[in-house]
Amino acid sequence: MKLISSLSTRLAIASLATVIATGAAFAAGTAATPPRNDWSFSGPFGKYDETQLQRGFKVFHEVCSSCHSMNKLAFRNLSQEGGPGFSEAQVKALAATYKV
């Protein structure tokens, strides 16, 4: 029992020393701060770019949907304002590719 206690104490001390040494190494260097970007979608009144949303949905549809689902998304959401902005015909063509 004493061996386990001694071993766990040594591991705790070694971990603490590693954390302190790592923190000191980071504090010694001066890191440049990245410039602040003004994104079109930042803030409560931000707006997304429709072409970026459409491209993102295309990537999801072609790559990610084989493993991940979008079961919380309805087809009607794809043509609503604030979304990717697909036309009704595009949404109907997309919906026709799915088997329910």
* Series of mean pLDDT values for 10-residue runs along the chain (100 residues): 63 76 63 86 84 92 90 88 89 88
**Predicted local confidence at residue 11, as pLDDT:** 75
**Predicted local confidence at residue 96, as pLDDT:** 92
Three-state secondary structure string covering 16-38: HHHHHHHHHHHHHCCCCCCCCCC
With a threshold of 0.95, does the pTM exceed it? no
Question: Alpha-carbon distance 97 to 94, whole Å?
Answer: 5
